[in-house]
Amino acid sequence: MRQIQVELESVIMNSYTKLLAILQPNTSRRILLQRRDAFHSNTVKSPINISGSSAVNTKQQSRFSSTDSSSKTLDYEAKNAYKLHLLEEGPKTNVSCNREEGLEFYKKMQVVRRMEASANNMYKSKLIRGFCHLYSGQEAVCVGMRAAMDKSDSLITAYRAHGWSYMMGVSVTGVLAELTGRKSGCAEGKGGSMHMYAPNFYGGNGIVGAQVPLGAGVAFAHKYRGEPNICVALYGDGAANQGQVFEAYNMAKLWALPCIFVCENNGYGMGTSAARASANPHFYTRCEYIPGIWVDGMDVLAVREATRFAKEWCVSGKGPMIMEMATYRYFGHSMSDPGTSYRTREEIQDVRKSRDPITSFREKVIQAGLASDEEFKTIDNEVKKIVEDAENHAQNDPELHVDEMYSHVYSNPPKNYMIRGCDSFTYKEATK
């Protein structure tokens, strides 16, 4: 019954969308838009409203198939995993993975979770200073998306970047030691939490929304050079109202840039819920000329499938695409925010119990007969060791020598160029 209802809703939504695409901007179009939005809000609950939500509840919808033991796969219909904007067809709803992939995704998500837990502890022990924005709860987004990207694709994100840094190639030591400011950090300790980089990974950016035009610029460079690569430019629900994001949308569409704009909607921009900040909180529909996909960001396989679809779209020259990943963060906005003054503890616990990306994926893999509980425990222990080892480095490795302050100011310093220190007697030569 529920299935029929969902299908009917999606048919009606698609009809609205098709009609809107034909109509010129005028009264009829406006009325239709209002009707569509009213229908949308009545039938489809907001992704962050977790009581009785129509967001993915794959336990009811999924069918686990296991063929014979040597070629078992996890295979199910992620029917509620996508919503489309300006698209006739979307990503495949039938998602699957084999044992190897399943275990790998689990392990990677678990590494991110443990790494962030370690960061949380080290921050509380004052080993990490300044800003620290934790990714816990959102792991399925970075793991799922990365699985659909090529090694030579680029990515840029905002400040909640530790999970992404790891997925883009920085080791756990590289992340944790960067947080504690040691020279084994990926930016030698010069960057800290919000400024980690790796090949094809452009950070790590502190200014809200500023990374979006930069991402479009990286996509521009790919296109300019004839490279078959995309740039994924991520931002949050808080940044989604920034003017520069729309400036980037406009140019990306005009020039058909191979850019996927991804809104990681975790429900809150700092302490302001999406509904309180955005007149239109359906971020995947925010651009009337770029197609968009809403994705259940807690389902790692759905995320991967949707990203595959978006990447193919961009690379085939059709221009940019917008994705909205409906996800959730367990910690507050940053370490200075307990995260409970603007939402209830019950809400947070509820998500942990019913929608956690890691435990729900593990259950699916076990139920499909791909791996046992013991194997997962072994992975958990491996992950524990990796993170503990990295923690060791983060706590004991030295910082850069003070003279290194004067390096990396210019990539091409003029000959004999001296950089001034804090007084007129201190000048050091600039080094690359």
Partner 1 sequence: MKLAKNILKCNRNLVLSQRSLATSQKTLAAQTITVREAITNAMDEEIGRDERVFLIGEEVAQYDGAYKMSKGLWKKYGDKRVVDTPITEMGFAGIAVGAAMVKVPIVFRGPNGAAMGVGAQHSQEYASWYSQCPGLKVVSPYSAEDCRGLLKAAIRDDDPVVFLENELVYGSQFPISEEALSPDFVLPIGKGKIEREGKNVTLVSHSKGVHLCLETAKELEQSGIDCEVINLRSLRPLDEDLIKNSVKKTHHLVTVELGWPQCSIGAEIISRICESDAFDYLDSAPLRVTGADVPLPYAKTLEQNSLPQVAN
Query: Residue 284: which of 320, 249, 323 has the closest Cα?
Result: 323
Q: Which stretch binds partner 1 (CB under 8 A): 60-68, 205-213, 341-349, 359-367?
A: 205-213
Contact with partner 1 (CB under 8 A): which of 250, 272, 359, 395?
250
Work out which of 247, 346, 363, 382 binds partner 1, going by CB under 8 A.
247
Which listed range, 33-41, 80-88, 157-165, 208-216, lies at the site for partner 1 (CB under 8 A)?
208-216
Rg of the chain taking only CA atoms, in angstroms:
23
Select 137 or 236, whichever has its Cβ closest to partner 1.
236
Torsion of CA 383, 386, 387, 388, to 10 degrees: 120
Which residue lies nearer to partner 1 by CB, 338 or 421?
421
Report the alpha-carbon distance of residue 218 to residue 236 in Å, rounded: 19
Piece of 125-133, 309-317, 334-342, 414-422 that binds partner 1 (CB under 8 A): 414-422
Is residue 243 a contact point for partner 1 (CB under 8 A)?
yes
| Nearer to partner 1 (CB atom), residue 106 or residue 202 | 202
Question: Counting contacts by CB under 8 A, is residue 407 touching partner 1?
Answer: no
By CB under 8 A, which span of 13-21, 280-288, 350-358, 405-413 interacts with partner 1?
405-413
Is 417 near partner 1 (CB under 8 A)? yes
**Per CB under 8 A, does 409 bind partner 1?**
yes
CB of 248 to partner 1, least distance (A): 5
Taking CB under 8 A as the rule, does residue 319 contact partner 1?
A: no
Tokens of residue 221, six digits: 């460079």
Query: Based on CB atoms, which residue is closest to partner 1, 194 or 371?
Result: 194
- Span 153-192, contacts to partner 1 by CB under 8 A: 154, 156
DSSP-assigned letter for residue 186? T
Residue 391 near residue 118, CB atoms below 8 Å? yes
Residues 293-312 that bind partner 1 (CB under 8 A): none
Give 144 or 320: the residue with its C-beta nearer to partner 1.
320
Residue 419 within binding range of partner 1, rule CB under 8 A: yes
The distance of closest approach from Cβ of residue 110 to partner 1 in the complex, given in angstroms and rounded to an integer, is 31
How many residues make contact with partner 1 (CB under 8 A)? 33
Residues 6+ apart with CB under 8 A from 60: 2
**Among 404, 401, 335, CA closest to 193:** 335
Indicate which single residue of 3, 65, 151, 410 sits in contact with partner 1 (rule: CB under 8 A). Answer: 410
Question: What residue type is assigned to position 297 of the chain?
Answer: G
Beta carbon nearer to partner 1, 128 or 194: 194
CB of 432 vs partner 1, minimal distance in Å: 10
Q: Which of residues 210-239 bind partner 1 (CB under 8 A)?
A: 210, 212-222, 224, 231
Residue 352 CA to residue 369 CA, distance in Å, equals: 24
Among 248, 263, 302, 322, binds partner 1 (CB under 8 A): 248
| 284 three-state secondary structure | helix
Counting contacts by CB under 8 A, is residue 240 touching partner 1? no
CB of 212 to partner 1, least distance (A): 7
Of 326, 327, 323, the residue nearest 261 (C-alpha): 323
Is residue 414 a contact residue for partner 1 (CB under 8 A)? yes
Residues that bind partner 1 (CB under 8 A): 154, 156, 202, 210, 212-222, 224, 231, 243-244, 247-248, 250-251, 254-255, 409-412, 414, 417, 419, 424
